């Protein structure tokens, strides 16, 4: 990318990391939780939130073939995200 240009920005509470899988965007937004958006309409992402998992305090995510690798304040987690309205915890490794 030789000359990137800001097209639009979106306000978040406390963004950390993000990950994208096709048209699905995962945003780690601190105490506001893990937010999931449909980003097929790039200029109106904020109008297409799929879910907000306010109970998940995440720092970074890597979506990988319906498995979301997530690091949180207390460990490493794997979630199945084949149903974006119902993340299923597959495994976790606690960190003290």
- Each residue's pLDDT tens digit, 16-62: 999 999 999 999 998 899 999 999 998 999 999 999 999 888 999 99
pLDDT, position 31: 87
Sign of CA dihedral 74, 18, 68, 14: positive
What is the residue whose two structure tokens read 């240009």?
A: 5
Domains of the chain (ranges, CATH numbers): 18-94 (2.40.10)
**C-alpha span between 85 and 75 (Å, rounded):** 22
Full-model pTM: 0.90
């Amino acid at each position: 990318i030789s000359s990137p240009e800001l097209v639009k920005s979106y306000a978040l509470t406390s963004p950390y990391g993000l990950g994208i899988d096709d048209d699905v965007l995962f945003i780690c937004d601190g105490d506001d939780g893990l937010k999931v958006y449909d980003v097929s309409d790039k200029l109106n992402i904020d109008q297409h939130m799929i879910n907000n998992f306010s109970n998940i305090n995440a720092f970074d995510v890597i979506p990988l073939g319906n498995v979301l690798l997530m690091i949180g304040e207390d460990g490493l987690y794997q979630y199945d995200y084949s149903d974006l309205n119902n993340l299923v915890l597959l495994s976790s490794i606690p960190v003290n």
